[in-house]
Amino acid sequence: MPALPSVMAIICLGLAAAVLSYVLHTPRRGSLPPGPPRVPLLGNAHQLPQSDQHLTFTKWAAQYGTNVLNDFRTIKDIDDPNRRAGDVVYVEIFTRPTIILSSAKAAIDLMDKRGAIYSDRPRFVWFHEILDGPPTLRFAGITRHGDRREARRLLLNLLHHPNDFVYQIKRYTAGIIFEVGYGHDIASLDGENLLKLTERGIRAALVGSGIGSGIVDFFPVLRYLPAWLPGMSFKYAAIKARKGVEDMEMTLYNTVNDKIVAGIARPSFAAAMIEECLREGAMTAKDKDDIKGTLGTLYQAGTDSSLTTLIVFVLVMVQYPDVFRKAQEEMIRVVGDSRLPEFDDRASLPYLECVLMEVYRCADTCHAADTDETDILCGDGAL
């Protein structure tokens, strides 16, 4: 182990660099949005939990946030039943300015209308440079046969187990992705080892991806310090997370590849990618990494929005039974009761289309914008 003077020198150098960074990068107050009180160097980092950060953001929005149509106002009493949650909150994670948007309007104003200015991505050192995840792609689509089979299975399960609708919807969304992505049938969530391994890998990858979860995202130079120094636990966390992600990706890849070799692989996105590479010649290490990275992304990218939308649909239909009856009557009138609806039927179902648009709004998957603007200074490099 290095001598104590060397350790102290490294610590002192790090503190000096932190102070200098704070002095150089702390933004002037100007017309910044309101936010919780900050302390030197840390900013608001000490107030961020390691998990469920959205709950803290919601609390800050109610207590400090400004409504974009009004002047900056601070609501002192968070328990006031008449309070209005604000749209924009300003915090600092160490020296990095961070803007919290808690409404669709604020998000659209900044990320859509002014996307050329604000729609950049921060540098996530822990996730991209230490965990070192491979590049990933996106894929959307499913075979007609698999889609119908999973839809019938969902309807049958809901008929026999209506109280377990969340479980059944989760199995359905998982089944869709595993069918199209890996050619693997998910008949049940119980005892499904491949699914459990995939979810463990995703959780491992997300350990250090939250805002303020890792100090190295705000002081990238720390990645070069030895792991035995105090505060360097993120390095051990990255090693553990990397293993979880690699196990997930390798298992998914090997499962599909072994079926291809055995001649029993079902049509899937994974099989198509592997077979395409093999047709073009020997698969390179980069080809294999690209495929593994893509397979590791498919499940997370393809299930969240579908799961949320379907659950919200069920809840809305239960809450508004008259709307449900009208949508059901329209469905029976157009489609009948002898087949499942097709995409070609959608133009003939205007009422159901309106219901779906409302569900999308409630499920937070799309929003409407208006033309109001506000003059809020976000600052260069704000997250």
Note the Cα 273 to chain centre separation in Å.
25
Cβ-contact 292, 248 below 8 angstroms: no
- Distance between CA 161 and CA 163 in Å, rounded? 6
Please state the rounded mean pLDDT for residues 52-74: 68
Identify the pLDDT of residue 312: 92
Q: What confidence category does residue 30 fall into, taking pLDDT thresholds of 50, 70 and 90?
A: low
Task: Dig out the tokens for 220 from the structure.
Answer: 């990238």
Tell me the pLDDT tens digit for each residue of 236-250: 777 787 888 888 889
Q: How far apart are CA 235 and CA 363, in angstroms?
A: 36
Residue 357 above 70 pLDDT?
Answer: yes
Residue 353: pLDDT over 90: yes
- E-only strand ranges, 10-160: 88-93, 96-101
Would you say 369 and 84 are in contact if contact means Cβ atoms under 8 Å apart? no
Is-contact 189 168, C-beta < 8 A? no
Q: What is the pLDDT of residues 211-239, one digit of tens each?
A: 545 666 667 777 778 877 777 777 777 77
- Cα 219 from chain centroid (whole Å): 24
Measured at the CA of 47, the angle between CA 41 and CA 49, to 5 degrees, comes to 125
Q: In this predicted structure, what is the pLDDT of residue 349?
A: 95
The answer to whether 97 and 27 have CB atoms below 8 angstroms apart is yes
Hey, what long-range contacts does 273-282 have (CB within 8 A, 24 or more apart)? none
Q: Could you report the per-residue pLDDT of 317-351, keeping only the tens digit for each? A: 999 999 999 999 999 999 998 888 988 899 999 99
User: Over the chain, what is the mean pLDDT?
Assistant: 75
Q: Measuring CA to CA, how many Å separate 206 from each of 102, 137, 296?
A: 22, 18, 13
pLDDT in tens, 180-194: 888 888 877 776 788
List of residues 6+ apart from 271 with CB closer than 8 A: 183, 256, 259, 260, 265
- The most confident of 71-80, 193-202, 337-346, by mean pLDDT: 337-346
Tally Cβ neighbours within 10 Å of residue 103. Answer: 17
Contact by Cβ (8 Å): 59, 86: no
Between 17 and 73, whose confidence is greater? 17
Report CA-CA distances (Å) from 94 to 24, 136, 208: 12, 30, 16
- 83/107: higher pLDDT: 107
Task: Give the span between the Cα atoms of 108 and 227, in whole angstroms.
Answer: 41
Rounded Cα distance between 269 and 143, Å, is 10
Residue 24, amino acid? L
